[in-house]
Chain A
Amino acid sequence: MTAALKTVQLTKDYGDRPALEPLDLEVGEGQHVALVGHNGSGKTTLLRMAAGLLDASDGDVWIMGHKSGTIEARRSLSWLSDTPTFYDDLSLWEHLEYVGRLHGVAQWHTKAEELLERLQLSNRRDDIPTTFSRGLRQKAAIALGMVRPFDVLLVDEPFVGLDSNGKTTLLELLDESAAVGATLLVATHELAFVGRVGRLLALRDGAIVYDGPPADADVHSLVLPS
């Protein structure tokens, strides 16, 4: 079976400061993985390299058997950043339209309507998302990440700024994606979320210090810096 996400000796350093030690990792199709670690442990670096947004110092990332950044990898991968970016001259609805269409979804509006409804953004669809509050921007980013089809969903700090309804909706959406076979890799500081996943990865100073079922792990000690 092809790994949904595979890294081979993936390394990143910023000058003389290593951000990620050589990392060999395989995440199988349909796996639901939480990525934890202290600030600066390398979570975002790993995810950004997997999304193709950050050049690796060495090594490779493969998404559904395709090298990261290739057109096939981009088709399979959806990336939800912790700092969502939007056009400052397009409404949320237009964002959904173009993101959907860029990913080959001709009937994007059905999914867009549903997402806006569930994220309680229907009344803001004609507003410009750059003017939204932190929480609303996060919700808008979730809608954009999910309006298109994907096999692998990479999420960085998804709960930041969300109200309790938003958190519940996001958890439901993640569960639904997992239920239809999508692979999820979620970097988070919300340790309560860890109990919902099948696999826990913990990073410390750029190296994996735990990889296994969350039930066997002392999560609180894993997120402490060395």
Chain B
Amino acid sequence: MTDAAVSGAPADTAPKATGLGALRDLRRTRQLHRLGNLDWFDAAYRVYLFGGFGGGAILWISSSVKDAPLDDNVAADVLSRGPAVLGLVVALAFMAGIRGGAQGGPIALEAADVAHVMLAPVDRLRALLRPAYQRLRSALFAGAMAGAIVGQLAGRRLPGDLFPWFCAGALYGANAAGLWVAAALLAHTLRLPRWLATLVGLAGVGWQAAAVAWSVPGPFNLDGSLALWGWRVHTVDLLAVGCTVLLLVAGLALLRRISLDALARRSALVAQLRFAVTMQDLRTVILLRRQLNQEVPRQRPHVRLRRHAGPLGLTASIWRRGWHGLLRFPLPRFVRMASLAAAMGVLQAMVVRGTTPAFLGTAILGFVLGLEAMEPLSQEVDQADRADALPVERGEIMARHLLAPAVLLVPFGFIAAFAAWFTLGARSDALAPALILGVPTLIGAACGGVVSIVKDMPDPTSGATQQAFMPPEMVGFSTAIRIVWPIVVSALTTCTVLLVRSADRLGGSTVSAAIRGSIGIMLVALLVYQWVRVRDRMRRKIRAFMDEGRSYQSQQRSSA
């Protein structure tokens, strides 16, 4: 292509390819423009940050797994039940895919592509192959990376060398990701109704759960078995990969049937989602994911609150407002929160059993659960002008918004406790510590979500100059802190399970260890509550102090 064509100069009037040829040229031109506009320094800096923090975190987690290899009995148990358990994860990926497809996933096009390319008389199958491949490629990469990391972690406690475990994990993750994309493509192109997609997904998960519980053959056992190739190789497991490839080919072949309605609806949301990911705005990412899944609050609450006659005080008003929002959560959201709580319980039990880094997984899940539960606070932050218009300190309002969600989390705490207890083999001595720690751990871990939400709050006292004068090195550092800090708060509370493990190993009282841990968690939660209350006041004071210092300095200079 000539330069004139790239710059759009009207002098280039020679006839060019039309139809699909024009589409190829369009994409090439846009690629050239994007490359031309890319800030290479910024991109390199992001890679450096990602590599530094991401790589560092993985190395730290890996090095922290120093526990002794599993004894023969447990290892035999892993070998016999591992494929079914790991297959359950693949079943969940399949369910997520098929439900996502019924809701319009997995492909997302730009709004302009929908308007100009999809409405043009070109073969939609060929026009959509590239975005579909891109989606598949990114999913396979993410799946393989996650699988490889977990694989090499598993290899430290299980027989076999690390490299085969790394490769087996990557194969398992890529296969699961491929199945997710394939299920989504098929559900979308076959226009599966949402209820049917959920039913099929639940059937797969239910069957696989039965395989875990009663050792019957599960539909995803072969997929799960791939992850154990670092230990032993079963070539028959390749049938699972073959199945995934076949489903993928079928999904891609049906691309012509894709719904423009879904593409148009998703295009704007996906653009916002990408922007939010670029800005490391996890709360917005979760919010937009909900919108992508067409998850909207219920028109009518699950339970209607009784009308209240007469005026309400500040606490009672906010308490009531909180429940009005929480009771409008759609059922899938409650199910998701319950799943997160159960997964937290399972991970905490894994910590007790010896997999120390699992408490970080609990922290991340608790953080996400916090973002889910703290919806009234999120709404208040997103509509900050309303709170600012009230004759009450903003922090007082925000802090009171924490009460209703905290109460909502109590039953989920019990779900986490029972999940942990079951994972520990339903031992009678494990029930009391699980119940003591369950609710505080969940509420404490959700505090990470609170920190993330409140840090997003616009600061009316801050000036633009403050940001402008921040050195570039500090911007990267502060961005990393912004992402990591809420997770650290969550991790501070979830790591208390180590007290119980330590007591268990040393023959001490696990109940008193759990009580000590709960008190620690509640202290952290109170600190977060207090931080939300006084944050604005503190910032104002610090700023006034700085301003005073500056004016004093300028007075000194002028008098000198």
Contact = CB atoms under 8 A, between A and B. Distances in A.
Given A106-B15, A109-B10, A99 B261 contact: no
Nearest to A112: B10
Contacts of A107: 13, 15
Nearest to A127: B8
B260 A53 contact: yes
Contact of B10 (A52, A95, A105, A125): A125
B13 A109 contact: yes
A209 interface: no
A94 B29 contact: yes
B25 A81 contact: no
Interface string A72-106: 10110101010011111111111101110111111
Contacts, number: 104
A88 B34 CA distance: 10
Interface in B1-46: 5, 7-10, 13, 15-19, 21-23, 25-26, 29-30, 33-34, 37
Nearest to B13: A109
Interface in A91-141: 91-95, 97-99, 101-107, 109, 113, 125-126
Interface string A20-48: 00000000000000000000000000000
Contacts of B116: 85, 87, 95, 98-99, 102, 144
A74 B120 contact: yes
Scoring B23, B120, B122, B264 by chain A CB atoms within 10 A of each residue's CB, the highest score goes to: B120
Contacts of B16: 101, 106
A103 B121 contact: yes
B506 interface: no
B402 to A, nearest CB: 33
A24 to B, nearest CB: 22
A107 B22 CA distance: 13
Nearest to B191: A55
Contact count band on A = 35 or more
Nearest to A56: B261
B13 A104 contact: no
Contacts of B10: 93, 109, 113, 125
Interface in B428-485: none
Interface string B103-132: 000000011101111011111000000000
Given A81-B115, A109-B10, A103 B120 contact: yes
A184 interface: no
B121 A104 contact: yes
B261 A53 contact: yes
Interface in B74-130: 110-112, 114-117, 119-123
Interface of A: 51-55, 69, 71-72, 74-75, 77, 79, 81, 84-95, 97-99, 101-107, 109, 113, 125-126, 144
Given A54-B264, A75-B121, 6 more contacts: A71-B123, A79-B119, A87-B110, A102-B19, A105-B18, A113-B10
The list of the 7 closest CB pairs from A to B, nearest first, reads A101-B22, A102-B120, A75-B121, A93-B8, A55-B261, A91-B8, A85-B111
